[in-house]
Amino acid sequence: MRAPPGPAGGPHLLVDTLHGRHAVMLDLTADVRELTERIVDVESVSGSEDSLADAIEYALRPLEHLTVQRDGNAIIASTDLGRDQRIVLAGHIDTVPIADNVPARSEDGRLYGCGTSDMKSGVAVQLKLAATLTEPVHDLTFVLYDCEEVEAERNGLRRLALHHPEWLFGDFAVLMEPTGGVIEGGCQGTMRADVTVGGERAHSARSWMGSNAIHAAGGILEILREYKPRYPEVEGLEFREGLNAVFVSGGVAGNVIPDSCTVTVNYRFAPDRTVRDAEAHLRDVFADFEVRVTDAAAPARPGLDHPAAAAFVRTVGSGQARAKLGWTDVSRMSELGIPAVNYGPGEPTLAHTAGEYVELDAVAEAERRMADWLSGRGSAGAA
């Protein structure tokens, strides 16, 4: 490998001798705030994470205390120090499509740009910990994976769980998802379904001879307007459900009465329901319509009574935790039998917005808290 000089102010490139392409250089000795900006500037929209995955791989491979493995655009780095417990730190490297918000810009202590909050700041924390914690009190596995922001079957952690579950083994996991620096337990399940109403085609000049399916879809929308979501408490944390239309499709031509209209709904459900429960609920709500489930991901219960989770909440979160209102890969960890929580420096309400940003001091604070916990400084080492 060799590193030619990059343009002034631009990325420096590394000749990638394994993959036959150039890789952006990431300096893991840089301050975590600077590292976050560098990572944001490497575009990695879901399905196009090659450049960032290459950069991460070549930043980690020289570190002698880590074993680095790769599957597609997922990078796994782990220690093997013979510790009694293994902690998994995981996070996705992809983002939603950019909205004229790359490269990043810094202003008044905030870093603006695509993925700053969700979740390249969390990735930067992972990489700093991977580089600096050569003698942690627990063995560590760092999982940086692709395609989290798209449909479940493309998810890189799902692929790893299917093909290399042994790479993900651990006693406890932290998903570095944006939480505003607050520990969030469990996650909601998510389900998408097409709710369809039929009609009868006719020429629009003789509309009375047909039945307009788009007009009939008003019944679906009325159900959604009147729907009352639940606010269940699960293991001491209050979750909030939601059922909303996200797409409407129908129509044949400008002079044809349509014979079909479909409303796609997204159901976010609490972890006291299974995927099967959620589907049964949707079919009950839309009993008068055709319902076809197109995508689903299971929720995860908080599990904060697990000793490792309780210790993490006590030492890193100062005893505070709340429910995760969204789906994250703590669900996949739960399916693997690994208790997991969400914790990261980004603000979740800013995720996927054009004005997305992260407070740079929050990134440094997250690195400090995690480093204290994993290095055993004070009471933070207990797990």
Q: How far apart are the C-alpha atoms of 22 and 14, rounded to whole Å?
A: 5
Q: For this structure, is 153 an active site residue?
A: no
With beta carbons less than 8 A apart as the criterion, state whether 256 and 245 touch: no
The catalytically annotated residue of 54, 94, 118, 367 is 94
The catalytically annotated residue of 148, 149, 329, 359 is 148
Q: For this structure, is 177 an active site residue?
A: no
Q: Which residue's structure tokens are 């100062």?
A: 318
Q: How far apart are the C-alpha atoms of 168 and 119, rounded to whole Å?
A: 20
Active site residues: 94, 148
